[in-house]
C-alpha cells in the first residue's frame, strides 16, 4: 500500500467519523487502545489525525454517599489549623473544660486561676467525675510522646462557657442588644466571680434607655446582686410608670419579687412624688426673660410662672417627667415673648428641675408598706 493510499484511508476515516451519528455520549479518546493500534497500522503519516474526546457529565446521586461530619471537638496538635478556626481550642492548653452539653474547651490553668477564686477552687478540687485525656505529640515511632491533661466538667452550656471565656481571653465579646441579654451576662460572670467583667457590665446596665425596656426586671437583678446604682435608676424608671394594679409588670415567673416588695415600691413611689411636689412648689428659677416683647413679663420674671405653680398645686397626678414637661409648656403659652426665648427659658428651668429631682432619694428607710 502506497503512502498516498494510506493518507486517503485516514482522511476518509476521519470524514466518516465526523458525519456519522454519535452512538453514545462518549467518543474514543486518543488514549484509547483501539486508536493507538490503528495508528500503528497506518504508520507515521497518521500523526496528523486529531481525535476529539467528549464525555457527557454524569449525574451523581448525593444520597449514595454518606455524609461527612467533622468532629465538634477535635484535639489539635501543634501547628493544627483547628486552633485558628475554633475558639478556645489552644494546642498548648493544660486543662479541658467540658460543658454540660459535652463540648470541650482547651484552655490554660494560669488564666483561669488568675481570673477568679471560683476557677482556682475548681482546678484545685475538681468534681469527682473529672477525667484525664492522653494527648499525642509528634508523629512517627521515634518522636511520639504523650501527656495527659485534666478534663473538668462544669454546669454551664457550651454557649455560656464560650461567653464566660471571652471575658478572659483577647477575643470578641458576646453581642448584647437587650436588657435581658445584658442581665444574662451579668448573672453568668457573677456566678464565676469575674469582678472586672461584672463591673464593666453593671456600668452598662445603668443606662436609663436600656432599663426602660423592663424596669421591674432591672430592679430585680439589682436587688439580687446588690447593685445600688442600678437599683436607683430602675426605681426612677418604675416611678414613671402607672404599675399599680397592672399585673403585667410583676407577673413574670422569673422574678424574685414578693407582694411585700411590691407594696414597698408603691409606698416609696408615693413618698417620692410628695418630695417632688414640695421641690417644685419651693423652686426658684435663676434666669428670667431678657426681651421686652411681652408686656406681662418683668425683667428677670416670667409672666407664666404663677400660673405654672397653680397648675402644679391642682395636679392630682404624680409629677412624672412627662406630666411636669406638659404642665410647664401649657403655662408658658400665655407669654408674648419670642417663641425662641420662651423655649430656651422653659428648657433651662426643666433641666435644672430634673437635676434637683434626680438628687432626691429613691428608697426611704423605715417605709415598708402602705399605711
Q: Is the pLDDT of residue 51 over 60?
A: no
**pLDDT > 70 in the chain, percent:** 70
User: What pLDDT is stored for residue 80 in this prediction?
Assistant: 44
Considering only 15-19, 255-259, 265-269, 358-362, which range has the smallest mean pLDDT? 15-19
pTM across the whole model: 0.66
In three-state form (DSSP H/G/I as H, E/B as E, the rest C), the secondary structure along the chain is CCHHHHHHHHHHHHHHHHHCCCCCCECCCCCCHHHHHHHHHHCHHHHHCCCCCCECCCCCCHHHCCCCCCCCCCCCCCCCCHHHHCCCECCCCCEEEECCCCCEEEECHHHHHHHCHHHHHHHHCCCCCCEEEEEEECCCCCCCEEEEEEEEECCCCHHHHHHHHHCCCCCCCCCCCCHHHHHHHHHHHHHCCCHHHHHHHHHHHCCHHHHCCCHHHHHHHHHHHCCHHHHHHHHHHHHCCCCCCCHHHCCCCCCCCCHHHHHHHHHHHHHHHHHHHHHHHCCCCCCCCCCCCCCCCECCECCCHHHHHHHHHHCCCCCCHHHHHHHHHHHHHHCCCCHHHHHHHHHHHHHHHHHHHHCCCCCCCCCCCCC
Give residue-wise pLDDT tens across range 12-45.
555 555 555 555 444 445 555 665 666 566 655 5
Q: Which residue has the higher pLDDT, 106 or 295?
A: 106
Segments making up each domain of the chain, as ranges? 3-48, 82-163, 179-257, 284-358
Averaged pLDDT for residues 289-315: 89
Give residue-wise pLDDT tens across range 109-155.
999 999 999 999 999 988 766 665 555 545 554 445 455 788 999 99
Amino acid at each position: 500500500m502506497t503512502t498516498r493510499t494510506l493518507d486517503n484511508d485516514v482522511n476518509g476515516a476521519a470524514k466518516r467519523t465526523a458525519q456519522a451519528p454519535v452512538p453514545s455520549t462518549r467518543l474514543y479518546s486518543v488514549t484509547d487502545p483501539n486508536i493507538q493500534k490503528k495508528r500503528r497500522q497506518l504508520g507515521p503519516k497518521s500523526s496528523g489525525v486529531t481525535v476529539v474526546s467528549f464525555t457527557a457529565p454524569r449525574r451523581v446521586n448525593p444520597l449514595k454517599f454518606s455524609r461527612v461530619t467533622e468532629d465538634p471537638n477535635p484535639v489539635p496538635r501543634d501547628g493544627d489549623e483547628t486552633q485558628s478556626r475554633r475558639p478556645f481550642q489552644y494546642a498548648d492548653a493544660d486543662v479541658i473544660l467540658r460543658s454540660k452539653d459535652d463540648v470541650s474547651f482547651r484552655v490554660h490553668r494560669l488564666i483561669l486561676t488568675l481570673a477568679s477564686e471560683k476557677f482556682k477552687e475548681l482546678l484545685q478540687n475538681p468534681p469527682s467525675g473529672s477525667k484525664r485525656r492522653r494527648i499525642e505529640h509528634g508523629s512517627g515511632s521515634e518522636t511520639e510522646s504523650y501527656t495527659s491533661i485534666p478534663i473538668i466538667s462544669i454546669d454551664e452550656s457550651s454557649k455560656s462557657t464560650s461567653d464566660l471565656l471571652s471575658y478572659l481571653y483577647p477575643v470578641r465579646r458576646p453581642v448584647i442588644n437587650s436588657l435581658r441579654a445584658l442581665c444574662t451576662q451579668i448573672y453568668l460572670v457573677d456566678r464565676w466571680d469575674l469582678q472586672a467583667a461584672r463591673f464593666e457590665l453593671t456600668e452598662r446596665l445603668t443606662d436609663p434607655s436600656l432599663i426602660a425596656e423592663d424596669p421591674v426586671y432591672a430592679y430585680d437583678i439589682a436587688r439580687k446582686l446588690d447593685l445600688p446604682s442600678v437599683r436607683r435608676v430602675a426605681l426612677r424608671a418604675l416611678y414613671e410608670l402607672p404599675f399599680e394594679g397592672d399585673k403585667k409588670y410583676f407577673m413574670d415567673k422569673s422574678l424574685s419579687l414578693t407582694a411585700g416588695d411590691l407594696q414597698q415600691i408603691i409606698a416609696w413611689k408615693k413618698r417620692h412624688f410628695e418630695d417632688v411636689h414640695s421641690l417644685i412648689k419651693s423652686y426658684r428659677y435663676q434666669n428670667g426673660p431678657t426681651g421686652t416683647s411681652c408686656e406681662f413679663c418683668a425683667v428677670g420674671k416670667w409672666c407664666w410662672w404663677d400660673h405654672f405653680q397653680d397648675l402644679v398645686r391642682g395636679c392630682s397626678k404624680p409629677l412624672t417627667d412627662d406630666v411636669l414637661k406638659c404642665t410647664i409648656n401649657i403655662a408658658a403659652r400665655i407669654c408674648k415673648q419670642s417663641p425662641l426665648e420662651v423655649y430656651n427659658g422653659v428648657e433651662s428651668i426643666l433641666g435644672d428641675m430634673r437635676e434637683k429631682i434626680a438628687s432626691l432619694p429613691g428608697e426611704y428607710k423605715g417605709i415598708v408598706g402602705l399605711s
